[in-house]
Structure 1
Amino acid sequence: MSEAGIHLEFQKRMIHQLGTVDYEDFELSLQKESPTTVRLNPFKIQSCPFEGNPIPWSEFGFSLEKRPAFTLDPLFHAGAYYVQEASSMFISEVLRQLEIPKGIFLDLAAAPGGKSTLLSTYLAQEGLLVANEVIQSRNQILKENLIKWGLGNSIVTQNDPAHFQELEGFFDLVLIDAPCSGEGMFRKDPEARKEWSPDHVRLCAGRQQRILDQAGGLVKGGGYLIYSTCTFNEQENEEMIRFLTSEFAYEPVRIKLNPEWQIEESEVQTEEGTFFGYRFYPHRVEGEGFFISVLKRPNDAYILEPRKKKDFKHQFLKLVDEKTCKALDEELGFENSQYYLLNDSYFRFPEMWKTHLEQVIHGLNIRYLGTEIGKKQKNEWIPSHDWAVSILPKNGFSTKEVSLEEALDFLRKNEQELILEETGWVLLTYQNLPIGWVKNLGNRINNYYPKEWRIRNL
């Protein structure tokens, strides 16, 4: 290890990659504090609630002057913004420049959800996102973050990449943010420095190759594949592009860069031609280490068109009939919805993507879809928290704007003494953004914030 706690072999590789002078600046940057950056949810908030500067390649990204206590900000829990490092937000620029059609996207290794919420924002009400995470604990975090984001245009799955093989040629875009050796996280995560070794790099490269081998065919003809890592070495980056293009037909995509951004473009020479990669170094950009490459599937590649099933059959989900769906839309103030029942709870899903859902749902482990609305007992709804923080209308419910102290009491699930004018369900809002439900029983107020999400020990 060097004096900075960096493996000597890593140091040697980076000096070769950057040159001696540039490497010194790079190593100095690892001793500095990581910048704090957030990306706004434009469906919930229009201006940054903190002092900061715009991130040049992200319309909704901001670099903050100091790090707030996000856990104690109700806007964070309401899904008004996501704390995401700036380099990863470059995906926004890729989507913008290429004007990628808003169809069905797959985020294959999606937790904790930064890139999934970014894709969800881009797709808005015109597209559908399948956000996948194979590890159960991480899948729960992904699900929570997409629920808070609140757009209702996602399906959360928990599967190994191999389980997607029947969906070859199905997706307009596949994002593979591959598990890697984490060299780009050395500043943010000192543990990553200790874990680094040449053997670990080789192990990660082998894992990435397996994922690409299983996922390279999922992109439909004319669609895009985005490959990214948070590492610097060629073994996990350029070599993976060479492997992918040796196994599948892809065409190169070049992204225009503003020289002021100081993002480094690399040319990847393959038997199929020159492809392009983009590196973010922490001593040059206000972000962590990152690598990204974009490839396009030839227009004549295979396309899997979703087929309408005659009968909907699923082990857990029950399809709600068309007449009931229309009645629910009219009652709730929604539009173009397909509803599903799971354990007597209604889930609202965009009707235009029903056939795609039915194609995805068989063979995959579905953990969440659309927006859970809640249960209905006679003529009364027992509304879910998911509905509260979604962008869907909440017609017929009274609302109560609360102070910061009252909002934090609610998020901690403390007993509250709110002055509520009406009994029954009340939607609490903070700075006009919904944060959840309480039920006024007259003699007491019940707090329906999810127990597992509550703020602890702060």
Structure 2
Amino acid sequence: MSEIKLPEAFVLRMKNYLGEKEFPAFVKSLEKEPRVSIRINPYKEIDLKEDVTSVAWNDEGYFLSERPSFTLDPLFHAGCYYVQESSSMFIGHILKYIQSPKDGIFLDLAASPGGKSTLLSSFLGKDGFLVANEVIKTRANILKENIIKWGLGNTMVTQNDPEHFKNLEGFFDLVLVDAPCSGEGLFKKDPEARNEWSEDNVNLCALRQERIMDQAGALVKGGGYLIYSTCTFNEKENEEMIRFICSEYAYEPVRIPLDPAWKITESATETEDGIFYGYRFYPHHVEGEGLFISVFKRPEDDYIQEPKKTKDFKHSHIKAASKQESQRLISDLGLDEESTFYSLQDSFFWTNARYQTYFEFLSRFLNIRYFGVELGKFNKDQFIPNHEFAVSILPKMGMTTHELSLSDALSFLRKEDIEIGDIPEGWVLVTYRNNPLGWIKNLGNRINNNYPKEWRIRMR
């Protein structure tokens, strides 16, 4: 790797933060290849090889000894793990410490590509509900795909500007804002981030962050938590943003305990409401990318908005399934009685009945891109299952399954014809290492590969 050239203004600032003696170690760390880490999906099956190392602050995070070809690993496409840099996994440590309710309603306001959303989804499990939002359409598509592969069915993907959440003040138990930033923490893995950096861009990002936080700060209910993070180091986008949040809203500081061995740098920011804490991940201290994160708590006596259950659900596109349709889905697919179903363009979606009221309330204000688990549709007496149902963790009672070898699994993921021995006619769920990959249909004289065309892999 050639010698890294850094913007002069950035160098002066970092020397001021770190000191002349420590700064060379920071620069040298940028020349190293980033260490690859993954976070496993606790609801799916995966046997890790022996040559992995645990991420200290997250029980589900692991460093790999080398970077494999994730594209050629069927378990990646099955949603058994997410490739996520280790610093971001610190959110898992925060959630454990603050003991946010697992049956809570969470919001990831700037969620794409989905690393932090899948982490929140895993934490909430089968009890809570997550809104994963992304304002940019193309990025919202990537977020949707990753949420589908994760497969827990506890998430609603939305595409909204922060302003669109104004009717949801005091609604969420936890709001995470991984704010768009100047990207100083990405200088190691992304040379373009260095080339695009400027003081003007830092100022522009700070203004954008203020606009976002001006909306986001109001969305946390009394007793709930706000998590603010950036992948940058400068105080303008970090400590000054803490002061801005505290000047706009009533929040209490939250100090997260650290193991000294982690070498995470804590900062303290004085405000009129007390000292608030921030946590910096410097690449010469930790095995991870640059990150800043801070946690705030809404006072217990602050406003709480509880959704009101409506007698009849009304939406311009989504319809509540009839009692007859719901019973048929439960009996035909072996789904839990504690299920609620909706239809969109003749396709049925599953959600957990526990958060039916929340979903229906949120649907009044937000542009929904995906929710729950899309199951499929009825064609006369036959049910045609969707790929989303295949990779979900929902039970698939009575469905024929067929385990694929690695070569056949890759052929399936390329949407190629595959040769399979004696299997019954009809829909068959193909698996790899017991994890569902999707559907094939045995028509007797041929087998149809129903893997989504837009998801197929092209690498050999």
**In which range does the TM-score fall when normalised by the shorter chain?**
over 0.9
Q: Which amino acid aligns with 1:59?
A: D
Query: What is the CA deviation profile of residues 288-326 of structure 1, one whole-angstrom value per residue up to 9, with x for unaligned ones?
Result: 000000000001111000001122111101101345424
Question: Post-superposition shift, 1:380?
Answer: 1.6
Q: Give the Cα separation in 2 of the matches to 1:74 and 1:13.
A: 44
Equivalent in the alignment of 1:397: 399
Equivalent in the alignment of 2:388: 386
Equivalent in the alignment of 2:278: 277
Please tell me whether the aligned partners of residues 263 and 278 of structure 1 are also in contact (alpha carbons under 8 angstroms): yes
Once the two structures are overlaid, the 10-residue window that deviates more, 447-456 or 411-420, is: 411-420
Query: What is the CA deviation profile of residues 235-279 of structure 1, one whole-angstrom value per residue up to 9, with x for unaligned ones?
Result: 000100100000000000000000000000000111111000000
Please tell me whether the aligned partners of residues 253 and 275 of structure 2 are also in contact (alpha carbons under 8 angstroms): yes
Equivalent in the alignment of 2:294: 293
Are residue 45 (structure 1) and residue 53 (structure 2) matched? no
Equivalent in the alignment of 2:154: 153
Equivalent in the alignment of 2:58: 58
Query: What is the CA deviation profile of residues 134-191 of structure 1, one whole-angstrom value per residue up to 9, with x for unaligned ones?
Result: 0000000000000000000000000000000000000000000000000000011110
Q: Give the Cα separation in 2 of the matches to 1:191 and 1:293.
A: 27
Query: What is the CA deviation profile of residues 63-115 of structure 1, one whole-angstrom value per residue up to 9, with x for unaligned ones?
Result: 11100100000000000000000000000000011111121000000000000
Equivalent in the alignment of 2:14: 14
Once the two structures are overlaid, the 10-residue window that deviates more, 297-306 or 318-327, is: 318-327
Please tell me whether the aligned partners of residues 71 and 459 of structure 2 are also in contact (alpha carbons under 8 angstroms): no
Equivalent in the alignment of 1:77: 77
For structure 2, which runs of at least 5 residues remain unmatched after alignment?
none
Please tell me whether the aligned partners of residues 108 and 133 of structure 1 are also in contact (alpha carbons under 8 angstroms): yes
Equivalent in the alignment of 2:418: 416
Question: Post-superposition shift, 1:420?
Answer: 3.6
Coordinate RMSD, CA, aligned = 1.2
Question: Post-superposition shift, 1:426?
Answer: 0.7
Question: Post-superposition shift, 1:416?
Answer: 1.6
Structure-2 change in CA distance of 1:185 and 1:420 (3 Å): farther
Question: Post-superposition shift, 1:327?
Answer: 4.1
Calculate percent identity across the aligned residue pairs. Answer: 60
Please tell me whether the aligned partners of residues 420 and 440 of structure 1 are also in contact (alpha carbons under 8 angstroms): no
Q: Give the Cα separation in 2 of the matches to 1:14 and 1:50.
A: 38
Structure-2 change in CA distance of 1:49 and 1:428 (3 Å): farther
Question: Post-superposition shift, 1:50?
Answer: 6.4
Using the size of structure 2 for normalisation, the TM-score is: 0.98
Are residue 340 (structure 1) and residue 339 (structure 2) matched? no
Q: Which amino acid aligns with 1:145?
A: N
Equivalent in the alignment of 1:172: 173
Structure-2 change in CA distance of 1:87 and 1:42 (3 Å): same
Residue among 355, 360, 363 paired with 2:362: 360
Q: Which amino acid aligns with 1:343?
A: Q
Please tell me whether the aligned partners of residues 400 and 420 of structure 1 are also in contact (alpha carbons under 8 angstroms): no
For residues 150-229 of structure 1, the aligned pairs below 5 Å read 150-229=151-230
Question: Post-superposition shift, 1:51?
Answer: 2.2
For residues 26-41 of structure 1, the aligned pairs below 5 Å read 26-41=26-41
Q: Give the Cα separation in 2 of the matches to 1:49 and 1:431.
A: 14
SS at match of 2:138: helix
Q: Give the Cα separation in 1 of the matches to 2:135 and 2:48.
A: 33
Residue among 440, 443, 455 paired with 1:441: 443
Q: Give the Cα separation in 1 of the matches to 2:24 and 2:60.
A: 32
Equivalent in the alignment of 1:68: 68
Please tell me whether the aligned partners of residues 170 and 220 of structure 2 are also in contact (alpha carbons under 8 angstroms): yes
Please tell me whether the aligned partners of residues 50 and 64 of structure 1 are also in contact (alpha carbons under 8 angstroms): no
Query: What is the CA deviation profile of residues 327-348 of structure 1, one whole-angstrom value per residue up to 9, with x for unaligned ones?
Result: 4223322211100000110000
Q: Give the Cα separation in 1 of the matches to 2:47 and 2:411.
A: 26
Using the size of structure 1 for normalisation, the TM-score is: 0.98
Q: Give the Cα separation in 2 of the matches to 1:45 and 1:287.
A: 26
Equivalent in the alignment of 2:317: 316
Q: Which amino acid aligns with 2:313?
A: F
SS at match of 2:62: strand
Q: Which amino acid aligns with 1:377?
A: N
Once the two structures are overlaid, the 10-residue window that deviates more, 219-228 or 2-11, is: 2-11
Aligned positions, number: 457
Equivalent in the alignment of 1:266: 267
Q: Give the Cα separation in 2 of the matches to 1:420 and 1:21.
A: 69
Please tell me whether the aligned partners of residues 3 and 31 of structure 2 are also in contact (alpha carbons under 8 angstroms): no
Q: Which amino acid aligns with 2:175?
A: V
Q: Which amino acid aligns with 1:31?
A: E
Please tell me whether the aligned partners of residues 40 and 48 of structure 1 are also in contact (alpha carbons under 8 angstroms): no
Are residue 99 (structure 1) and residue 99 (structure 2) matched? yes
Please tell me whether the aligned partners of residues 158 and 369 of structure 2 are also in contact (alpha carbons under 8 angstroms): yes
Question: Post-superposition shift, 1:378?
Answer: 2.4
Question: Post-superposition shift, 1:283?
Answer: 0.7
Please tell me whether the aligned partners of residues 270 and 276 of structure 2 are also in contact (alpha carbons under 8 angstroms): yes
Query: What is the CA deviation profile of residues 222-243 of structure 1, one whole-angstrom value per residue up to 9, with x for unaligned ones?
Result: 0000000000000000100100
Question: Post-superposition shift, 1:414?
Answer: 1.3
Please tell me whether the aligned partners of residues 39 and 61 of structure 1 are also in contact (alpha carbons under 8 angstroms): yes
Q: Which amino acid aligns with 1:334?
A: L
SS at match of 1:20: coil
Q: Which amino acid aligns with 1:439?
A: K
Structure-2 change in CA distance of 1:50 and 1:217 (3 Å): farther
Query: What is the CA deviation profile of residues 34-85 of structure 1, one whole-angstrom value per residue up to 9, with x for unaligned ones?
Result: 0000000010025424621000100100011100100000000000000000
Equivalent in the alignment of 1:349: 351
Q: Which amino acid aligns with 2:63?
A: S
Q: Give the Cα separation in 1 of the matches to 2:69 and 2:348.
A: 35
Q: Give the Cα separation in 1 of the matches to 2:326 and 2:446.
A: 35
For structure 1, which runs of at least 5 residues remain unmatched after alignment?
none
For residues 300-311 of structure 1, the aligned pairs below 5 Å read 300-311=301-312
Q: Give the Cα separation in 1 of the matches to 2:363 and 2:307.
A: 12
Q: Give the Cα separation in 2 of the matches to 1:48 and 1:298.
A: 42
Q: Which amino acid aligns with 1:409?
A: S
Q: Which amino acid aligns with 2:375?
A: I
Q: Which amino acid aligns with 2:384?
A: I
Once the two structures are overlaid, the 10-residue window that deviates more, 322-331 or 104-113, is: 322-331
Equivalent in the alignment of 1:247: 248
